[in-house]
Chain A
């Protein structure tokens, strides 16, 4: 069997070409999924932070990302007074225009502004790459990818809705791909957004021993017009919402990538069968079983796909490392299960596609071995 495998194996140049092609498709598929994961993970990092045991939302909102309503900020005090509540803080979330002046150019972005009780209130940055939380209304902490896009670093000046502020922190895990977070004191966001006296969410920290369901029920009873969600539900809802816009597009492009890899492998096996007709005819004449040859061909197809798939997965990891250091605007987060799924899909489609040319083995006539 090993000799048969060696006898019908592709020439190294052609094999490497195929592996490269499959690796590119694999890279595309895995990187796209990792991009979605990266954005979803940022939501999880923020929404799932310690101290955020319950989320109170405006009516109709069940996730963090998109909402049109607001809550009265004074509701925070009423919630804070409820039994089982150790603490409650509101955050004000509003899209803000952030710009910088760098080298004479004015760079402008629309960012996800989050106003919280800086510097230590709940709802602040989940993690820092460098720097610290804002302490005054004239300070902000912004996502490191946003800082890069704006061309600013620590201690540089940015303009939030036209008001100057100093960037005192660069945050990480706060990149939603299409936009990024900027954190400021709630009063600063109120002043720049016109939402004075309003809150987007109220975040509740439970007292030790208090049960989230009990406290949530109490809040709903006292304030029937608001939504109340425990952390796990709010995280799951926000993750779902992250994918709503992207998933169909990513799935479509992923399918194209898998399709391209499958067609590539099928073409290669087709070329292998056609290019090795004489060798295959000789092997059939000498007594090799057609089924064994088909198995060898499927093995060759699998070898190429697995090699290309794994190479693509490794390249995707390298790409993530490079992007993280050089261009963090695209957040890639890998999940082993995603990679395994992508590889399984590639292998299945590649083998399925290569079965068509392998079926052509039946047309190889052993008598071709006798042709001069």
Chain B
């Protein structure tokens, strides 16, 4: 089942003399269970593509179908609710909320996705068990290592069983071993939960887990290819 469709999407960022064409006629489909690596240099348009896919940015041209719904036909509030239900995010920095414990950070996402309190708690416990991070639950985000933070970030992205996980350089700030662990956790757990994963990265450690690699250069998507 196709989870994400970008069809001829263009997007200009900035205005006036600083305007740049971040996406040019980009088309891409991501199906359930796929792990797609979006590979390109800094400024190539990777983050813009993720933001357009999530409905955080509105494209100037083209259309976006996310979990079967055209984002252009949704009001901002509907788009926000749809995003909360069907998208999970893993950011380059974990962006855990420092006032909350690790467990609360993950629980909050389940609640934002509209899960009732009891169900959200069960889902949180479940994802902690799946990622084997139960021992981190009571800690504050400031008490975690970089790798631990990102594994919690992965848990937050998956707790509400989203159709699509969007990850922006999830291993960019991690050393070799930690990066490998996070990459594996993201790919295997997402797959186990039936989620599609679109990862903006230029980290080779993610390649073994990818089902497809799509290059992006100056906002243009290249031909996708399966990993060697």
Q: Which residues of A contact B (CB under 8 A)?
A: 3-4, 6-9, 278-279, 282-283, 285-289, 366-367, 369-370, 372
Contacts and interface: CB of A to CB of B under 8 A. Distances in A.
B84 A286 contact: yes
A370 B92 contact: yes
Interface in B136-163: none
Contacts of A279: 95, 97-98
B100 interface: yes
The 6 closest A-B pairs by CB, nearest first: A287-B84, A7-B97, A282-B95, A287-B112, A3-B108, A372-B92
Contacts of B63: none
Given A3-B108, A7-B108, A287 B80 contact: yes
Contact of B91 (A4, A9, A369): A369
Contact of A282 (B77, B91, B169, B172): B91
B213 interface: no
B211 interface: no
A7 B99 contact: yes
B100 A370 contact: no
Contacts of A3: 100, 104, 107-108, 111
A372 B99 contact: no
Given A4-B108, A7-B108, A289-B80, A370 B168 contact: yes
Contacts, number: 61
Contacts of B111: 3
Contacts of A370: 47, 50-51, 91-92, 168
Interface string B105-126: 0011101110000000000000
Contact of B172 (A4, A6, A366, A372): A372
20 contacts: A3-B107, A3-B108, A4-B108, A7-B100, A8-B99, A279-B98, A283-B112, A285-B54, A285-B89, A286-B109, A287-B81, A287-B83, A287-B112, A289-B77, A367-B56, A369-B91, A369-B95, A370-B51, A372-B92, A372-B172
**Most-contacted residue by chain B among A6, A279, A370 (CB, 10 A):** A370
Contact of B51 (A7, A367, A372): A367
A27 to B, nearest CB: 30
Contacts of B99: 6-9
A353 to B, nearest CB: 24
A356 B54 CA distance: 30
B159 to A, nearest CB: 11
Contacts of B85: 287
Interface in B53-102: 54, 56-57, 77, 80-81, 83-85, 89, 91-93, 95, 97-100
B173 interface: yes
